[in-house]
Amino acid sequence: MSDDRHILLVSHTGRRDSIDAAVEVCDLLHAAGLVPVMPFDEYADIRRAEASVGQVDILGVDVQADRLEIVIVLGGDGTILRAAELVRGTRAPIVGVNLGHVGFLAESERDGLRSTVERALSGDYHVEERVTLQVDVVVGHEVVYSSWALNEATIEKASRERMLEVVTEVDGRPLSSFGCDGVVVSTPTGSTAYSFSGGGPIVWPDVDALLMVPLSAHALFARPIVVGPDCTLAIEVLRRTSGVGVLWCDGRRTHDLPPGARVEVRRSPDPVRVARLKDAPFTDRLVAKFQLPVAGWRGPQTDDEDSL
């Protein structure tokens, strides 16, 4: 077995099909002379399911994250976000095999599992760096919480029956105040996630930008906005707000927001690296994932067609 190459496997162990896929990946890695690396909790879940993955190195015990070559993820976008959390700050790219529903972050489907592993082993992929967010919560003059996000940071009301009163800000200047259910600050990668469901625009992932999308805002001016990558966006929870708000980063990390709290969001210096197996345009991915109607499209006309 090779001691030089380390491939992390992250899977959704709450589903039997994902466990079966994990067993298959481990078999392929063993056949290539490698010992798979897994997070301990996932390895324990698979053992409890009475599945056998053979010899495995445990992430953070046998192998540190900075020694990983690539991460193979089995599941939906939530599992990919978990993998990004595990390897953030390293050079290891992530390649996802979709076992969920839409799976926008995934690069292949279940029937392409073997091919995905083979291409990961041979290095037959190219790497994209995706913008991430640095998120700080300020109370008074003190940063009381810091986190990050690949998809989005969401400021939401904590109580269903109460409205959240906020004022939004761009680069230190106030933009608008309103009552709302929340505000989403998104990356281009996250523009097809929560931001999209809130009415935000879809932004191609190679665009350097940040998005801010109000959710159910009671205001004349509460439109989604797109700003440059060097801008700082802020959302202040006004002191007249009843109760507290809550911050969610990628739906995984959370912090309560008392009245007067301020959430500052800017581009993080640490991108997430995504391994791409296909050169298909992002437009084609949108059509496939959202099953958009394109029947009747003929494409750009040729000179011969123009003369008809």
What distance lies between CA 198 and its chain's CA centroid? 17
- Phi, psi angle pair for 277, to nearest 5°: -105, -15
- On the 0-12 / 13-18 / 19+ scale of CB atoms within 10 A, 291 is exposed
How many whole angstroms separate alpha carbon 256 and alpha carbon 146? 12
Give yes or no for a contact between 36 and 56, defined as CB atoms under 8 angstroms apart. yes
How many whole angstroms separate alpha carbon 10 and alpha carbon 97? 10
77 is catalytic: yes
The single residue of 4, 45, 62, 77 carrying the catalytic annotation is 77
Give yes or no for a contact between 156 and 246, defined as CB atoms under 8 angstroms apart. yes
Residues serving a catalytic function are 77
